[in-house]
């Protein structure tokens, strides 16, 4: 992985335009970025300004509810898979300090009779906000489709069939996570808004955050600030895809740092979509990513078993 000072910007329209040369160029740009950096900014991603604004409005309405009302949606026994997760409960894999955030989880909506629905908890309806769940569902579906297009490009970069991931992500265990980082009202000791970590899933699609703070670590250990333009989303490789590709594609360490003290009184919101495959999907290293120079680095495991391991490490169970 080479050093970088910023993440590259790519245009998804180049992939979907029907022009073979533009499509080929997009695949190369995405593949090169994911082999060297693990992050890209994507424009023409399919999310309208109205949908983004509507979702942020509903999310802010929810997190502005009194704590007692929010905690009514924190359901015991779900390990945070659906509904509300209260402030400070989650921590990074190698940290015991709770992150300075609270969040909500929208999960998969199975609408085609797929038996996999029995594996998923129901989404939690917020009674006080009649548009909250509807808006979350619409954003979930749009981000799922954008992720599907990006995985098609990734498959081509790996010299696989373009539809390689289609069956693996259909009704997959993806999560849309609106996050609220509340104002900081006292010295936070060692806690930060989100400690350095890598994501668990295949790819993460991040709708533009409401304030700065996201940083990505390059090879030299420098932290590079990431701020997408208003018409872009940030999309990064997760550990499942890194594992599947035997480290060919990079799941890069990132974090959300606390703001300067004069901005402690400001909330921060961000909304990542964690695109997961179905639980029975094998994460065994792809044959095309194994050779004498890069021997197989990981033991075989399913996506479901890997997710269970990681949820335990995050302190949610």
CATH architecture label of 9-313: Sandwich (2.60)
Measured between alpha carbons, how far is 215 from 193 in angstroms, rounded to an integer?
A: 12
Q: Which residues contact 297 (CB under 8 A, 6 or more apart)?
A: 246, 247, 285
What pLDDT band is residue 215 in, cutting at 50, 70 and 90? Answer: confident
Per this entry, what is the length of the chain? 317
- pLDDT above 70 covers what percent of the chain? 87
Q: How far apart are CA 317 and CA 309, in angstroms?
A: 10
31-53: per-residue pLDDT in tens?
999 998 899 999 999 999 999 99
Asked if pLDDT for residue 81 goes beyond 60, the answer is: yes
Q: pLDDT: is 145 or 261 the higher one?
A: 145
User: CA-CA-CA-CA torsion for 55, 61, 63, 67, nearest 10 degrees?
Assistant: -150
253 C-beta neighbours (distance < 10 Å), count: 16
Mean pLDDT of 297-315: 90
Only one residue has tokens 């004498």, namely 292
Instruction: Retrieve residue 289's tokens.
Output: 């990513």
272-297 pLDDT tens trace = 999 999 999 999 999 999 999 999 99
Give me the pLDDT at residue 214, please. Answer: 83
pLDDT at 210: 47
Distance CA 200, CA 175 (A): 11
Contact 175, 273 (CB under 8 A): yes
Task: Compute the distance between CA of residue 278 and CA of residue 117 in angstroms, rounded to an integer.
Answer: 11
Give the tens place of pLDDT for each residue, 221-232.
Answer: 888 888 767 789
Q: If you ran DSSP here, which 8-state letter would residue 106 be given?
A: B
Alpha helices in 202-254 (DSSP H): 239-244
What is the Cα–Cα distance from 210 to 268, expressed in whole angstroms?
A: 6
- The predicted-structure confidence for 189-207, as pLDDT tens digits, reads as follows 655 556 678 899 999 999 8
93: its two tokens? 């894999």
CA-to-CA separations, 74 to 86, 123, 263, in angstroms, rounded: 7, 12, 29
Distance from chain centroid for Cα 29: 20
Q: Where are the domains of the chain?
A: 9-313
Q: Does residue 137 register a pLDDT over 60? A: yes
Enter the pTM of the model: 0.90
Residue 39 β-bridge partners? 236
Task: Give the model confidence (pLDDT) of 96-109 as tens digits.
Answer: 555 678 999 999 99
Contact status, residue 225 vs residue 34, Cβ threshold 8 Å: no
Quick one: 102 exposed, middle or buried, by C-beta within 10 A (0-12, 13-18, 19+)?
A: buried
Angstrom distance (rounded) from CA 262 to CA 183: 11
């Amino acid at each position: 992985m080479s050093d970088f000072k910023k993440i590259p910007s790519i245009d998804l329209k180049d992939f979907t335009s029907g022009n073979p040369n533009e499509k080929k160029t997009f695949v190369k740009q995405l593949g090169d970025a994911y082999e060297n950096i693990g992050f890209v900014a994507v424009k023409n991603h399919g999310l309208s300004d109205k949908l983004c604004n509507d979702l942020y409005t509903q999310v802010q309405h929810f997190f502005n509810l009194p704590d007692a009302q929010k905690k009514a949606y924190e359901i015991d026994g779900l390990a945070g898979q659906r509904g509300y997760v209260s402030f400070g409960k989650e921590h990074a894999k190698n940290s015991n300090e709770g992150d300075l955030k609270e969040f909500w989880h929208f999960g998969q909506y199975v609408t085609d009779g797929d038996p996999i629905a029995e594996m998923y908890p129901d989404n939690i309806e917020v009674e006080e906000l009649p548009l909250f769940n509807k808006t979350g569902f619409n954003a979930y579906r749009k981000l799922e489709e954008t992720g599907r297009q990006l995985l098609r490009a990734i498959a081509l970069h790996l010299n696989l069939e373009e539809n390689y991931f289609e069956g693996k992500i259909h009704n997959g265990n993806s999560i849309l996570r609106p996050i609220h980082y509340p104002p900081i009202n006292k010295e936070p000791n060692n806690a930060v808004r989100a400690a350095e970590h890598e994501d668990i899933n295949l790819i993460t699609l991040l709708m533009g955050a409401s304030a700065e703070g996201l940083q990505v670590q390059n090879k030299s250990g420098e932290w590079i600030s990431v701020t997408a333009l208003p018409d872009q989303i940030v999309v990064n490789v997760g550990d499942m895809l890194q594992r599947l590709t035997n480290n060919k594609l990079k799941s890069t360490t990132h974090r959300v740092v606390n703001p300067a003290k004069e901005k402690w009184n400001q909330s921060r919101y961000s909304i990542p979509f964690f695109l997961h495959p179905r639980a029975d999907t094998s994460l065994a290293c792809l044959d095309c990513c194994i050779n004498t120079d890069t021997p197989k680095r990981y033991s075989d495991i399913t996506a479901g078993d890997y997710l269970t391991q990681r949820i335990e490490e995050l302190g949610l169970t």
